[in-house]
Structure 1
Amino acid sequence: MNLYNWIGLLVSCLLFGNSAQARGIFSKVGASCLYVAANFTSFPFNCDMPDLAFKCRCQDPAFLGTVTNCVETHASDPQELSAAFSQLLETCKAQGGKSWALVDLVKMNENATNYMINYETLPTPKFKATPRFLLFNPVVVPGELYNISYNSVSKLMDQRNLATVYGFYVYAYWGAIMLIAIIVNIAQWTSPYYNNKIAKTKFALWCKSKIICPQIIKPSNFNRNCKNNVLHSIYTMPVRMHALVIIGYLILNVVFCCVNYEIAYPNTVFTCRRGQMLVSIADRTGIIGTVQLPIVFLFSLRNNLFSNITGMSYRTFQMFHKWTSRVVFVLLVLHCAFYLLFVNVRGDYIERWGLLKWRCANTAFGAISITMLVSFFRRSFYELFKATHNVLLIVFAVGSWYHCLTLGWTEYLGAAYAVWGVDYLVRWAKMISSGGILKGQCKVIFDTKTFKPHSIKIVVNHSGWWKPYPGCYCWIRILKYDMFWEAHPFTVISATSANNYNQLVFIIRVKDGLTKRLANHVSKFPGGECNLNLIVEGPYGNNIPFKQYDKSVLVAGGVGLAVIYSIAMDLAQIYRAQELRGKRLANDASHKHISLVWFIPNFESLMAFKNEIESLKSFKDIMEIQIFITRTLEDDVLQSIISDANLINPLGSSSDEVNIEEKEDVGDLEEGTTGDKDSKDVELGSNQIFKEQRLEEVEFLKWLIANNGEQISISFEDKPFLQDELSEFLLNTTERLPTALIACGPTMLNADVRLSVVKCLEQGLCVDYYEEELLW
């Protein structure tokens, strides 16, 4: 080697070699010389075989001299020479555990030139021949064997690079989906009237009714009496549009894992054809799965930038997260399976990799496997799922990082973990911006029959650095010893119902878990009220572009009114402001209208929103409210008021047996009570909380009856068959004008509303459906 080449080599190493990270094979020349020196002859160097990890040969001057002489002979320029030497240094360090400096290789190469022997002088230069003696001299690699090795390494690198390119194609696919969603979202906000013209066309209506809006399976095809878990599974299936996106994603991954494999033979890296094919498939599936990890983490974020710019909900991205994680899991399973098959064929990959890399691989794979298994218990044991999910992800992150450290593709792991970490930083920033530790005024609303907590109302004064918007929600963490580790999302009632703009109001339905423990704790205080320290993380959620619609129909179920109310009040204020500014003509007053439909199981649910319902009276020229209480009122006083008003016939009033049975149920629920009415009155009278709540309920019911039919229509009959009656209502009242329909409630209610929208679209009515439902 002349002086110019050595100077170029040193400069290149300073610029590139020393900063290069271990990436498996990154130099074709270096890897070709390394593998041809390791496999081109049946005569081992002065090492016990097999030495697959180069632990011995990386300390053997004859072997290193053979490799460096080969590199010097076939490297075309100093940069290629630098990369080839870096390949040798990294291989010896990562696999052989021997660290050499560049000057050491230079000295070995200079010394080797004095002892080189020709390959032709070796007695039996054949692959897989039985060893007869050891080599103590470096060997000049002939061009023919180098070309075979170069072709072997090139095919291996090309296959791995192709797998990475296929991973980029998956990014391009999701990028195209996001771009389409961004364009549609921008069009809805910036060109509402032009967007309406397109939405009224037959093609647009057909796309909405057949592709965009319907679920992949129509729930109407199933009997409503089948098991709830079956119905829930049917209703939570993706809509057809989302299903098509997921199916396209699945097809891409299947195709990319099945095409364009090339086998190079003879081969100095993998001497077995079958083993080479198994490794190719294992590399393809593992690389495509690893490259997609940033997408999996991105779709799982609470603070997802794409959610804001595309208008897609948190629920939609959670669904995409589930499916991408499932695909990546299957790819990693295939990656492990095919490498194990290769080990079975060769029986030597444990030695080649070393125990540390296998342990890291097993740790990472075990963690992600358990994570997927725990996901099946998500609905029933959410807090357990969340805790184990995060712990196992950390284990997976550490194991996969050390597994890939010497193989490459760690930049994708780093990107995934960086995205994950940034999301947590933003969460903390939102907690701090909301004011850190806040005081929450908690009040329990009781069920007057069972005397158990029904709902909780929480009022919080936050920092005021942000203002709640319609439909936004926050994650609340109660700072109590048995609750602080749990955080749940709750919708913010519109600021119009609060006393000031720094105030957040939450109405929470008491169920099992955190809400039940919180309600029981608050119930112990006088009046069922107390102050608690809590942390608010928010706001979250997207706005809906209502400007393009002349009619809005809002359907709520239970505490789903928290979302619907804030949207309704915001719309009403916009319409009222337009009136005050003169932007609405007198004859146009009927075109801007809001219909609110609310389904609740009992009167206590109505009491939780007493102030909000009363505040809607100021918008009676814009908004109408229909309330359906779907269960029989258990309270005799309230039932008698309804009977006197002739709203409905008292249910079960003709049967004394039924009344007695109901009273006996009350007695069984509370210790020390009997089944008779006097005992019940005594119990209520002895408890100031229930007495005050009873009086408040009576007054509010009388107010509702007095205003019934003017703006607020209240019904105490069974819930109507929503699929048919809602579609008839839309067809009769919307006058074929662009209509927004928003639903927020239980899964089955949302599915029924979606079906009614499809019926309207099929009859030519321009309706856009928005679903406000958290999936967490």
Structure 2
Amino acid sequence: MLATLAGCMAYHNRNSTGAVKTAKNSCKQYGEVDLQPGWFDDSYRYFLENAVEISSIPDFNISVPVDVPVILNGTMILLYKDAYDQFLGNYDNSFYYGAGALGYWLLVMVLGAVNTWSRFLFPGLIKKLSFGPINWWREYVSMPATFRKKKAQEQKLLKIFDFLIPSRYETLVVTGFYAYIIAVHSIKYHFVSEVPIFESKYDFQLRNVADRTGIVATVMMPLVFLYAGRNNILQWFTGWSYNTFMTYHRHLARVMFLLVVIHSVTFSVELGEYYSEDMADTYLIWGTIATVSSGIIIFQAMLFFRRNWYEIFLLIHIIMAALYIAGTWIHVDELGYVWFCYATVAPWCFDRLVRIVRLFAFGFPKAKVTLLANDTIKVEIPKPSYWKSVPGGHAFIHFIKPTYFWQSHPFTFVDSPHDSHIILYCKVKGGITHSLYRTLVNNPGQTATIRVGVEGPYGESTPAKYADSAVFIAGGNGIPGLYSEIMDIARCVTNETKKKLKLIWIIREYKSLEWFTEELEILKNTTIETTIYVTKPECNGDIANYLDMKEEEEEEKEEDGSKNSKSEGGVSTSSISAKFAHITFTEGRPSIEGIVNNEVHEANGSVAFVSCGHPVMVDEVRYYACENINNSEKKRVDFFEQVQVWA
């Protein structure tokens, strides 16, 4: 038999060192036969001396073994080689295509890293790049929304299927990935009809599609889970926001799900009449569990469910993800692809471990939680001495209450102006903030002390600090992160420098000032030019009426025996007017187009816009910043979005 094999391998000089080694390994793996060194030379010599044609063997019967080497038909040898190259070679090709998918994202990340680190290492050079093809790329590709203005805003389809559209660059990246996946699953399915490995071309291609989709999905799996992690070193490497990683994570997960479904369906069809019998195998049972789990993940991860039942979504998401990993692990354990399960579980477990370490390192201090004006909850948390805040960053907070201690929610924060606290301003919506609201609204002074856990900080400040003029435009509760970042820049700016810092805050009514009074007061000691737009001043009257109203409230408190004549913001109402003299108040809805155009025109050089707040406002800032990239004065214009989509 070995002599016949050697003769077959030597036909057309196909007995390369690699082929001989593969034959030896196959005999060891599948036949438990350990071939000795030099087996090929000995066997081939024996073949040359003793091999005969099949036609010369008397009474030849294919089912009866023969004791001499056989000379096989050369044409059939090549046909069988071609057929097995197509079938078995599909395993290798599938692995390479999966590796190519990882390579695609590596290239995208490298480009992201070059963009990020060039801003950090060569800020002066970047400010000068405001011409020709670079402006075209930034105006039409890297900065704008995919379609006109809408990027941060939710889009609706049939009322239930809400969705978000990525930026134009992100859309091109995702489209390129989809194109790659479609391309590699549309090639190399040649069928050799003369060789009956499969009964028909249909069966052959069905099996190849099943194998390819399953292998590529498995190779992609580590990246899908890595992109979803909070403690992701790739965020530092690329400079992408968590929001960007989650955008790519969702599309990677959708592609992986589609490949898994195609794999399961085509393999089931290929089994045919043996389906019931083979489905009793453990690896197929767990493969089915993994497929069903991925389907549940994709369905319940729709924006509609994430926004309305986030806590339930997150719990189901984690359970189903664990089931998917377990199912895939058992499914591929004996197929040679379990290493990709290791590569998936390792960063997932590492991420959870780091989260726990961060929580316990911070400790579980008692936080002062207060309900303020405009349905805003203020959370004051003492921080450890080692804990360094990230300007514009965020942290995940656990409120240690029996009903929701296990939940963690992200909030931007500012440092307390007086002591070593961080302060969160949480807008009352649904879920945990609504539960806190119901607790606080009935408490004396609408205040409570709640033990909390803090995991963070996460995030990075924007490169706006390198621009000659930095304009921060916040709406409503989007102010804390932008305030934290512009204050960090202001600490490094002296009165002699030409750098301009502007903070624009758009609020609905004057009472919104109450919950951010202390921070606004501190601005008077900086070079930051601050403007506050009040879009609905009639709700409280003008600023004077608002102050009069607060003074009346304080007088009533004194008559009732109140010991504290200060508002929740910590500023005496009789002195608020003087303390706000450094801020320009404008009543009415601002023109974002006018603000952006004016700031570009007045800038001494490069100008960067940073925005956070209502999605419509953020999208407008992005749109008009793009419109000004090709300005007549050749100034560099940048836009950075600080809106984070957590759900």
Normalised-by-shorter TM-score class = 0.7 to 0.9
On the 8 A contact 1:473/1:538 being kept in 2, the answer is yes
Aligned-pair CA distance for 1:297: 1.1
Q: Whose Rg is larger? A: 1
1:631 pairs with 2:499: no
Change in 2 beyond 3 A, CA 1:228/1:255 = closer
Change in 2 beyond 3 A, CA 1:331/1:268 = same
1:685-735 Cα shifts (integer Å, max 9, x gaps) = 99989x978966897666454466x530123x332232x222232233214
1:375 pairs with 2:304: no
1:659-704 Cα shifts (integer Å, max 9, x gaps) = xxxxxxxxxxxxxxxxxx9xx9999999989x97896689766645
Correspondence for 2:368: 441
Change in 2 beyond 3 A, CA 1:123/1:634 = farther
1:431 counterpart (350, 353, 359): 359
Change in 2 beyond 3 A, CA 1:293/1:429 = same
Aligned-pair CA distance for 1:738: 0.6
- Identity among equivalent pairs (%): 24
Tell me the distance in 2 between the aligned counterparts of 1:288 and 1:545.
37
Tell me the distance in 1 between the aligned counterparts of 2:445 and 2:18.
86
Tell me the distance in 1 between the aligned counterparts of 2:364 and 2:333.
41
Correspondence for 1:87: 29
Correspondence for 1:651: none
Correspondence for 1:712: 583
Aligned-pair CA distance for 1:427: 1.3
Correspondence for 2:98: 167
Change in 2 beyond 3 A, CA 1:177/1:508 = same
On the 8 A contact 2:377/2:428 being kept in 1, the answer is yes
Correspondence for 1:564: 482
Tell me the distance in 2 between the aligned counterparts of 1:566 and 1:232.
36
Tell me the distance in 2 between the aligned counterparts of 1:478 and 1:260.
55
1:727 counterpart (574, 593, 596): 596
On the 8 A contact 1:559/1:605 being kept in 2, the answer is no
On the 8 A contact 1:638/1:698 being kept in 2, the answer is no
Aligned-pair CA distance for 1:634: 4.1
- What aligned pairs does 1:8-47 form with structure 2 within 5 A after superposition? none
Correspondence for 1:334: 262
Determine helix, strand or coil for the equivalent of 1:484: coil
1:490 pairs with 2:411: yes
On the 8 A contact 2:368/2:379 being kept in 1, the answer is yes
Determine helix, strand or coil for the equivalent of 2:628: helix
Determine helix, strand or coil for the equivalent of 1:437: coil
Aligned-pair CA distance for 1:527: 2.4
Change in 2 beyond 3 A, CA 1:348/1:265 = farther
Aligned-pair CA distance for 1:307: 1.1
1:459 pairs with 2:396: no
Aligned-pair CA distance for 1:356: 2.3
Determine helix, strand or coil for the equivalent of 1:533: strand
Change in 2 beyond 3 A, CA 1:135/1:373 = farther
Q: Structure 1: which amino acid aligns with 2:468?
A: D
Unaligned residue ranges in structure 2 (runs of 5+): 10-14, 36-52
On the 8 A contact 2:467/2:607 being kept in 1, the answer is yes
Change in 2 beyond 3 A, CA 1:751/1:84 = same
1:506 pairs with 2:446: no
Q: Structure 2: which amino acid aligns with 1:311?
A: G
Aligned-pair CA distance for 1:276: 0.6
**Bigger mean CA deviation after superposition, 162-171 or 311-320:** 162-171
Q: Structure 1: which amino acid aligns with 2:240?
A: M
1:363 pairs with 2:231: no
Tell me the distance in 2 between the aligned counterparts of 1:606 and 1:231.
35
1:772 pairs with 2:642: yes
- What aligned pairs does 1:169-248 form with structure 2 within 5 A after superposition? 169-198=100-129, 200-219=130-149, 236-248=164-176
On the 8 A contact 1:232/1:747 being kept in 2, the answer is no
On the 8 A contact 2:517/2:570 being kept in 1, the answer is no
Correspondence for 2:457: 539
Determine helix, strand or coil for the equivalent of 2:391: coil
- What aligned pairs does 1:100-499 form with structure 2 within 5 A after superposition? 143=72, 152-198=83-129, 200-219=130-149, 236-267=164-195, 269-344=197-272, 347-348=273-274, 351=277, 354-376=280-302, 377-434=305-362, 436-446=363-373, 454-494=375-415, 497-499=417-419
Correspondence for 2:46: none
Change in 2 beyond 3 A, CA 1:216/1:139 = farther
1:279-331 Cα shifts (integer Å, max 9, x gaps) = 11221222222211112112111112111122111101110111111111111
Tell me the distance in 2 between the aligned counterparts of 1:76 and 1:560.
62
Structure 1 length as normaliser, TM-score? 0.71
Aligned-pair CA distance for 1:488: 0.4
Tell me the distance in 1 between the aligned counterparts of 2:514 and 2:205.
68
Aligned-pair CA distance for 1:180: 1.5
Q: Structure 2: which amino acid aligns with 1:358?
A: L
**Bigger mean CA deviation after superposition, 138-147 or 246-255:** 138-147
Aligned-pair CA distance for 1:204: 2.0
Structure 2 length as normaliser, TM-score? 0.84
Q: How many residues align?
A: 612
Aligned-pair CA distance for 1:358: 2.5
Cα RMSD, aligned residues only = 4.0
On the 8 A contact 1:219/1:231 being kept in 2, the answer is no
Correspondence for 1:26: none
Aligned-pair CA distance for 1:394: 1.1
Correspondence for 1:756: 624
Q: Structure 1: which amino acid aligns with 2:419?
A: N
On the 8 A contact 2:510/2:546 being kept in 1, the answer is no
